[in-house]
C-alpha cells in the first residue's frame, strides 16, 4: 500500500510533522506532498526546518486565490498525482482547502482517505472551515478523532464506521519541540513569564469584517493602556495587510506597551510565548489546543469553537469580538484559577495513527 500525506498550510504541517517523519522512517516510498497553499518561508519554510522534515516529494505551488480557485487547482493536480504515483491512501488534516480538494480528488479516483482531526464541529456554516471538515468526514474511510466529543459529533451525523479515538497530534508536535533547545525570543524582547498577553488574529470572519476587527483591536489597545501587561501581537501576513488599510497597524506599533511580531514567530517560539504568557487571546483553533496543553488560560476571539473541550475543562473562554466583552473576560480570567487536565492524550499519537492504517493496530 502506498500512502501519501498531503498538507498545504502551516497549521497542517505542524500537526502532521511528526507523522510525516515517522512515515518516511518506516518506508521512503510513501509520499509527502505539499500543495503550496501557504508558500512563503515564514508561513511554512521555518516549520520544515524546525522539524527537520525531508523535502516534499511533490510541491504543487498552487499559491493564493479564492476558495474555489485554490480548491479546483489542488483537485486537478492531486488527481494527476494519485494516478501517476498509484497512491492507495491519502492522509489529510483538519479543515483547509487542501484537505477538501485532496479528499474530493481521492474519492473520484477510488483512493482511500484518512482524516486526522476528524469530528470537530463549530456548527457555524458561515465558516469555510466548517464546510470543509464536514464534507471530508463524510468522504473518509479512516476518521482519527482527537476527543470523545469528536466521536459523538460523527455519530450524530450517522458516521459510525472507520472511527478511531487516538488523541490530538499536536501533542506530538509540542512534545517534540519541548525536547529541543529553548528559543531566545523572550530574552530578545525583554519579556518575562506572566508579564504579557500573547495575541494572534487571522481568521477570515474577523479580518474580513471591519466591525469585528475594530472591536478586537480596540480591546487590545485598551488592555495595553489600562493593564500592566504588555500586548504581544504575532502578526499574520493577511492580517497585516488589512490592519494597514484600516489604519490600525501604526496605532499598535507606536503604542509603548504593544509588541508587534512581524514576521510572526515560528512554531517553537509560539509555543514558548504561549507557555510563559499570562493569557493567550486568539481566533486560532490550534492555539486553543496548544494553550490548553501548556496550561495557559485562553480567550477565544470568536463566538463559537470547534474545540469545545477546551471550554469544558476550564482552559478557554469564548469572548467574540465586542470590545467591552473582551476586556471584561480578560479581567475575569486574570482572577480565576488556572488548573485543568487537558483532554488530548499523550505523545505517540502519530505512530498510533500509522499503525492503524498499515495494520499494525486496530
- Check residue 172 and report its DSSP letter: H
Tell me what the pLDDT averaged over the chain comes to. 94
CB 192 within 8 Å of CB 186: yes
Mind listing the pLDDT tens digit for each residue in 43-91?
677 888 999 999 999 999 988 789 899 999 999 999 999 999 999 999 9
Nearest one of 345, 357, 298, 25 to 170, comparing CA atoms:
345
The backbone torsions φ and ψ at residue 318, rounded to the nearest 5 degrees and listed phi first, read -85, 125
Mind listing the pLDDT tens digit for each residue in 206-253?
999 999 999 999 999 999 999 999 999 999 988 999 999 988 999 999
Nearest one of 7, 155, 31 to 93, comparing CA atoms:
7
Beta-carbon contacts of 73 under 8 Å, excluding residues fewer than 6 positions away, are 60, 62, 65, 101
What's residue 182's pLDDT? 84
Which residue in the block uniquely carries the three cell numbers 510513501?
A: 30
What's residue 337's pLDDT? 84
Spell out the domains of the chain, with CATH numbers in brackets: 3-168+345-358 (3.40.50.2000), 185-334 (3.40.50.2000)
Residue that wins the pLDDT comparison between 172 and 247: 172
- Check residue 9 and report its DSSP letter: S
Calculate ∠ Cα 125-101-151, nearest 5°.
55
Which of 34-48, 146-160, 325-339 has the weakest average pLDDT?
A: 34-48
From the number of C-beta atoms within 10 Å of its C-beta (0-12, 13-18, 19+), residue 17 rates as buried
What's residue 41's pLDDT? 58
Mind listing the pLDDT tens digit for each residue in 88-139?
999 999 999 999 999 999 999 999 999 999 999 999 998 899 999 999 999 9
Q: How far apart are CA 124 and CA 206, in angstroms?
A: 14
What cell numbers appear for 179 in the block?
Answer: 525536547
- In this prediction, what percent of the chain has a pLDDT beyond 70? 97
Helix ranges restricted to H, the chain:
10-26, 46-50, 67-85, 97-109, 128-139, 148-156, 170-178, 185-188, 204-207, 210-226, 237-245, 249-253, 267-276, 285-294, 308-312, 323-334, 349-358
Which residue in the block uniquely carries the three cell numbers 509527502?
A: 32
Q: Name the β-bridge partners of 128.
A: none
Q: How far apart are CA 137 and CA 139, in angstroms?
A: 5
The band of 176, judged by pLDDT with boundaries at 50, 70 and 90, is very high
Strand order of the sheet with strand 112-116? 58-59, 31-34, 3-7, 89-93, 112-116, 142-145, 163-165
What's residue 219's pLDDT? 98
Nearest one of 338, 326, 203 to 318, comparing CA atoms:
326
Q: Is the pLDDT of residue 1 over 50?
A: yes
Q: How far apart are CA 296 and CA 278, in angstroms?
A: 7
Q: Is the pLDDT of residue 178 over 90?
A: no
Residue that wins the pLDDT comparison between 36 and 151: 151
Question: Rounded to whole angstroms, what are the CA distances from 208 to 202, 214, 216?
Answer: 9, 11, 13
Query: How many whole angstroms from its chain centre is CA 7?
Result: 12
Q: Is the pLDDT of residue 42 over 70?
A: no
Which residue in the block uniquely carries the three cell numbers 469580538?
A: 321
Catalytic residue (one of 30, 58, 202, 272): 202
What's residue 362's pLDDT? 39
Residue that wins the pLDDT comparison between 43 and 201: 201
93 flagged as catalytic: no
Q: Is the pLDDT of residue 361 over 80?
A: no
Amino acid at each position: 500500500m502506498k500512502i501519501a500525506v498531503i498538507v498545504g498550510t502551516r497549521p497542517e504541517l505542524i500537526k502532521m510533522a511528526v507523522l510525516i517523519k515517522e512515515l518516511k522512517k518506516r518506508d521512503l516510498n510513501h509520499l509527502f506532498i505539499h500543495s503550496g497553499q501557504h508558500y512563503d518561508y515564514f508561513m511554512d519554510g521555518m516549520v520544515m526546518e524546525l522539524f527537520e522534515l525531508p523535502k516534499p516529494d511533490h510541491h504543487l505551488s498552487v499559491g493564493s486565490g479564492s476558495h474555489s480557485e485554490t480548491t479546483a487547482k489542488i483537485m486537478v493536480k492531486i488527481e494527476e498525482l494519485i494516478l501517476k504515483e498509484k497512491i492507495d491512501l491519502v492522509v489529510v488534516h483538519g479543515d483547509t482547502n487542501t484537505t477538501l480538494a485532496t479528499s474530493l480528488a481521492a474519492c473520484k479516483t477510488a483512493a482511500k482517505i484518512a482524516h486526522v482531526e476528524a469530528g470537530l464541529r463549530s456548527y457555524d456554516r458561515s465558516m469555510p472551515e466548517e464546510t470543509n471538515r464536514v464534507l471530508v468526514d463524510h468522504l473518509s474511510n479512516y476518521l482519527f478523532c482527537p476527543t470523545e466529543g469528536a466521536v459523538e459529533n460523527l455519530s450524530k451525523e450517522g458516521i459510525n464506521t472507520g472511527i478511531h479515538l487516538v488523541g490530538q497530534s499536536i501533542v506530538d508536535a509540542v512534545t517534540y519541540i519541548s525536547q529541543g533547545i529553548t528559543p531566545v525570543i523572550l530574552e530578545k524582547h525583554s519579556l518575562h513569564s506572566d508579564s504579557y498577553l500573547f495575541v494572534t488574529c487571522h481568521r477570515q470572519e474577523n479580518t474580513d469584517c471591519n466591525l469585528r476587527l475594530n472591536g478586537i483591536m480596540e480591546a487590545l489597545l485598551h488592555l495595553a493602556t489600562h493593564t500592566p501587561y504588555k500586548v504581544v501581537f504575532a502578526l499574520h501576513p493577511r492580517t497585516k495587510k488589512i490592519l494597514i488599510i484600516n489604519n490600525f497597524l501604526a496605532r499598535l506599533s507606536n503604542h509603548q506597551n504593544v509588541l508587534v511580531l512581524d514576521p510572526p514567530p515560528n512554531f517553537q517560539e509560539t509555543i514558548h510565548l504561549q507557555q510563559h504568557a499570562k493569557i493567550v487571546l486568539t481566533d486560532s483553533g490550534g492555539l486553543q489546543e496548544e494553550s490548553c496543553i501548556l496550561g495557559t488560560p485562553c480567550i477565544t476571539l470568536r463566538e463559537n469553537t470547534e474545540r469545545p473541550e477546551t471550554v469544558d475543562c476550564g482552559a478557554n473562554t469564548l469572548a467574540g469580538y465586542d470590545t467591552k466583552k473582551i476586556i471584561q473576560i480578560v479581567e475575569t480570567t486574570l482572577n480565576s484559577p488556572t488548573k485543568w487536565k487537558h483532554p488530548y492524550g499523550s505523545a505517540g499519537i502519530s505512530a498510533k495513527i500509522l499503525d492503524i492504517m498499515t495494520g499494525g493496530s486496530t
